[in-house]
Amino acid sequence: MATSPSTAFSGSDVSAEFGALKTRLDSIERTQERLSAEFEALKTQFTQLETDRGPGFEEYLGFYPRCAWLTFFSSQQRLPARLHNSRATIMKATLKTPVAANGKPAPGFPTSRGEFEHITKERYEALLKAYGQPLKGDTEAKREALRAFAGIPQDGQ
């Protein structure tokens, strides 16, 4: 929708736009709070089910053990960071830190693609460990494992 320059910055239009944006932001924040509460309730339920279960419990209910569900939810929380990182094709591009299994960002994650390409073997190992990933191979193999996990494209992609 195009607006003419004379009406684009009128006080009433800006106020109305700001109000609409604030309403949308409030709605998004409420949804995030609700989803977070639902996720915490699910974790509590699965912890209780894990404690109360008997032989063949997963097969009876037809779903995976608690750890599989928590892994699924953790991977869903990582999607926004991985999507953002997938567009990091130049060295100055910023990176977002995927959350670790505890739901918090892993400490020491690089802030840019250039930094990612030049961190030490020990730092790659620490990050892979924080994400529960295998620590196999040389520095290049660890870089590629972390690259795949964090959604960072290879050179030329």
Residue-wise pLDDT tens digits, 46-64:
666 655 555 444 554 455 4
Mind listing the pLDDT tens digit for each residue in 89-140? 899 999 999 988 777 888 999 999 999 999 999 999 999 999 889 989 999 9
Cα 14 from Cα 123, distance rounded (Å): 47
Q: Is 119 inside a domain boundary?
A: yes
Q: Which of 3-7, 105-109, 141-145 has the lowest mean pLDDT?
A: 3-7
Shared domain check, 92 and 41: no
Q: How many CA atoms lie within 13 A of 101 on its CB side?
A: 12
**Range of 47's domain?**
13-63
Q: Pseudo-torsion of CA 52, 57, 62, 67, nearest 10°?
A: 60
Q: What is the mean pLDDT of the chain?
A: 78
| Confidence at residue 33, expressed as pLDDT on a 0 to 100 scale | 80
**In this model, does residue 65 exceed pLDDT 70?**
no
| Confidence at residue 12, expressed as pLDDT on a 0 to 100 scale | 65
In this structure, what token pair is assigned to residue 126?
A: 């620490």
| Confidence at residue 69, expressed as pLDDT on a 0 to 100 scale | 47
Contact 147, 131 (CB under 8 A): no
Contact 127, 146 (CB under 8 A): yes
Shared domain check, 59 and 71: no
Contact 124, 146 (CB under 8 A): yes
3-state helix, strand, coil in the chain (%, to 5): 60, 5, 35
Q: Of the residues 30, 48, 63, which one is the last residue of a structural domain?
A: 63
Residues with Cβ < 8 Å from 92, sequence gap 6 or more? 112, 113, 114
Shared domain check, 25 and 82: no
